[in-house]
Amino acid sequence: MNRPKVLITGAASGIGKATAIRFAKEGYDVCLNDIQHEKLADALNELTPGDHIFFNGSYAGQETINKGEKLIGEKWGKLDALVSCAGIFEKTDPLTMDMERWRVTFDAMINGCVLTSKLAVKFMQQNGRLIHVTSIHGTRAEASASAYSMAKAAINQFCRAMAVELAPRNILVNAIAPGFVDTPMAVVDGQNELHGKWFKENYIDAHHLPLKRAATAEEIAGVAFFLAGNDASYITGQVITVDGGLTITF
């Protein structure tokens, strides 16, 4: 059976893992990528059976991309969708950090976005979906998050630009911008900030988050699955905000 194929980065945990599980459950063959080798193998074992494959390494490195291209070419020879969920966060001070350190977060996400897009498009002659998970940080500012925020904003714009470039081939390109999501990235200094006093006081007890809870990784995965499907056939170049209403308040 000619099952659809999807490449998912950041697939060892969080949104990426939930997305891999959802796509496999819906009948996709899934290629998983992550820098966490052992967790990646564990995630593979949790998928609904299929012709699944994986390769480890940083999605921002050309060597890793070459490995993925070879694997997909040999095993499948095609791709129907890319869902890039990988990302990193490091506190940054643009006024005191040297540029090389500051650029680590920025470059990793920008390079990963571009390289995985180039890889995916090679296996999409006509039709296909590129979906990049960004963040509401792409349009909002937070102290100590300048590199992260600028990278997410740049990826949003890259998706718009690529939507124009790839429209003649009916390859649709969109971004998903989550707000708070309860994943391992929410753990700061050993504590999940979404389960603590700060989140409760500001976002549950106060008015800043209308739905008064963080999203689950599965909810973001559902939006990715929608964007990869037939019902999203006229959506391209968009940033879909999935934040429980966080960015509509003041």
Q: What CATH number has the domain bearing residue 222?
A: 3.40.50.720
Residue 112: per-residue pLDDT: 97
The active-site residue, picked from 59, 148, 203, 234, is 148
Q: Closest Cα to residue 140, out of 16, 217, 241?
A: 241
Supply the pTM of this predicted model. Answer: 0.96
User: Which pLDDT tens digit goes with each residue over 148-173?
Assistant: 999 999 999 999 999 999 999 999 99
More confident residue, 18 or 207: 18
Residue 59 is among the residues annotated as catalytic for this protein: no
Question: How far, in Å, CA of 74 to CA of 181, rounded?
Answer: 35
User: Which pLDDT tens digit goes with each residue over 214-249?
Assistant: 999 999 999 999 999 999 999 999 999 999 999 999
Domain count, the chain: 1
81 neighbors 29 (Cβ within 8 angstroms): no
Strand partners, 180: none
Q: Closest Cα to residue 144, out of 104, 89, 206, 217?
A: 89
Percentage of the chain exceeding pLDDT 90? 90
Q: Which domain holds residue 22?
A: 5-248
